[in-house]
Amino acid sequence: MIPFKKWFGGGKQQNDELIAKLAADNIPNHVAVIMDGNGRWAQKRGLPRVAGHHSGMKNVKKITMAADAIGVKVLTLYAFSTENWKRPKEEVEYLMKLPLEFFPKEIEELIANNVQIRMTGWQEGLPDYTLKAIQDAIDQTRNNTGLILNFALNYGSRKEMLSGVKRLAQDMRTGKIDENQVDESLFSSYLLTHPLPDPDLLIRTSGELRISNFMMWQLAYSELWFTDLCWPEFSEQHFYEAIQEYQRRARRYGGL
Ligand code: FPP
């Protein structure tokens, strides 16, 4: 029996060999990635920072297919934080235009692979053209039942928790929710990620050892995996190495 889906990423033997080493019954349901190091990758090559973002965008498709091939259910990619607005205007504009290039180019293959596009983040503040590109992709893949490719865009964890707390307080004031009902599961339902499961594995590229305001509630029991590689050079092989390491970890959730 072949435990995994057919490999769509170019039939590389190396990928097949790495996939064969994975335990098919211990694939993380939700993998989240902080795609860091685009700028440094470009600068090392004497290229403008935005060339790194463009290369990073191309890597999104590769890693999506790699995740899909082994049966990951949700892949969340941190594409733009609520803090990234502080970057130079030209860089922000460039990042905001990437969905306009990415989705028209890739949507056919994403649909062929039954991928569903989602977004976690605030729509307010995003340019109309960015929103439209994403909304079109969400609409076109709404009925797909395979991998959820979730873009964290204009997302920040503190803002998410504060806004959740405010809505919860409002619901308590109006009597919709009683204080005794408030537990972890109820609070989670006030977060933007609801109803997605919490990430099982967080990958951060580029050598930074930080969470950077990303899913701080949801990552409470996630396994963390860091690599010095920058996002544009992070390949399917590295992704499978991270999964292999995940499978070596014993998740105890505070127990023994
Ligand atoms: C961090 O690297 C990366 C980002 C802020 C942008 C990530 C976005 C993509 C990879 C493209 C997403 C694609 C779509 C379709 C939305 P950095 O610039 O902070 O790198 P540095 O730390 O080396 O400067």
pLDDT at 2 over 80: no
Nearest residue to 96 via CA among 114, 69, 123: 123
Note whether residue 144 is domain-resident.
yes
- The pLDDT tens digits of the residues spanning 169-201 come to 999 999 999 999 999 999 999 999 999 999 999
- The pLDDT tens digits of the residues spanning 76-107 come to 999 999 999 999 999 999 999 999 999 999 99
Note whether residue 169 is domain-resident.
no
Note whether residue 75 is domain-resident.
yes
Q: Is 16 an annotated catalytic residue?
A: no
With a pLDDT cut of 90, the percent of the chain lying above it is 91
Nearest residue to 208 via CA among 33, 9, 14: 33
Note whether residue 190 is domain-resident.
no
pLDDT at 43 over 50: yes
Note whether residue 239 is domain-resident.
yes
Total of domains in the chain = 1
Task: Give me the mean pLDDT over the 22-28 stretch.
Answer: 97
pTM of the predicted protein model: 0.95
* Parent domain of 91: 27-105+120-148+196-206+230-247
Residues at the annotated binding site for substrate?
37-41, 49, 53, 81-83, 85, 87, 204, 210-212
Note whether residue 183 is domain-resident.
no
Q: Is 84 an annotated catalytic residue?
A: yes
Q: What's the length of the chain?
A: 256
Contact, 150 vs 76, CB < 8 A?
A: yes
pLDDT at 147 over 70: yes
SS3 43: helix
pLDDT at 12 over 90: no
Question: How far from chain centre, in Å, is Cα 233?
Answer: 17
Note whether residue 44 is domain-resident.
yes
If you search the block for the tokens 């990042």, which residue do you land on? 95
Token code pair at residue 85: 């607005």
Distance CA 122, CA 81 (A): 10
CATH code where residue 99 lies = 3.40.1180.10
Token code pair at residue 119: 């977004």
Contact, 203 vs 225, CB < 8 A?
A: yes
139 CA → ligand 1 middle, Å:
25
DSSP 134-188: HHHHHHHTTT--S-EEEEEEEE-HHHHHHHHHHHHHHHHHTTSS-GGG--HHHHH
Distance CA 115, CA 240 (A): 19
80 CA → ligand 1 middle, Å:
7
In 10 A of CB 104, how many CB atoms?
12
121 lines ligand 1 (CB under 6 A): no
37 lines ligand 1 (CB under 6 A): yes
Note whether residue 15 is domain-resident.
no
pLDDT at 1 over 90: no
SS3 21: helix
56 lines ligand 1 (CB under 6 A): yes
Beta strands in the chain (DSSP E): 30-34, 74-81, 116-120, 148-155, 201-204, 223-226
Distance CA 162, CA 146 (A): 32
